[in-house]
């Protein structure tokens, strides 16, 4: 193989890495990486099931309901932007 990496070169690099880091540290890294991949797959699966549930439900109901202590009183207000005061009017 010209210009490529042969299996023997990969084995030599792997041997050097094992000598530098040790098998215990490499095992811990592998375990952490496997756990992260498992968690990612689980989150993706949960996201897909939530999307499917949301598409199946598809209603106009609000997600959160607000409870008031005093039932029956509803206040309808209009929000307006407050204009900044001029500094020369205060003098």
Per-residue pLDDT, 1:
47
Per-residue pLDDT, 23:
86
User: Taking a C-beta distance cutoff of 8 angstroms, is the pair 48, 55 a contact?
Assistant: no
Percent of the chain at pLDDT > 90 equals: 26
Q: Measured at the alpha carbon of residue 68, what is the angle toward residues 63 and 71, in degrees to the nearest 5?
A: 120
72, 54, 71, 74: which is closest to 63 by C-alpha? 54
Per-residue confidence at 66, pLDDT binned at 50, 70, 90?
low
User: Taking a C-beta distance cutoff of 8 angstroms, is the pair 17, 26 a contact?
Assistant: yes
Phi, psi angle pair for 11, to nearest 5°: -65, -40
Greater confidence, 2 or 82? 82
Over the stretch 13-55, which tens digit does the pLDDT of each residue have?
999 998 998 988 888 998 999 999 999 999 888 887 877 776 6
């Amino acid at each position: 193989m010209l210009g490529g990496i042969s299996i023997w070169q990969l084995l030599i690099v792997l041997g050097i890495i094992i000598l530098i880091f040790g098998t215990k540290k490499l095992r811990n890294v592998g375990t952490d990486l496997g756990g992260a991949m498992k968690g990612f797959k689980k989150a993706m699966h949960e996201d897909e099931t939530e999307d499917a549930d949301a598409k199946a439900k598809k209603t106009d109901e609000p997600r959160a309901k607000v409870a008031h202590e005093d039932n029956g009183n509803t206040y309808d207000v209009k929000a307006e932007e407050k204009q900044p005061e001029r500094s020369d009017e205060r003098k």
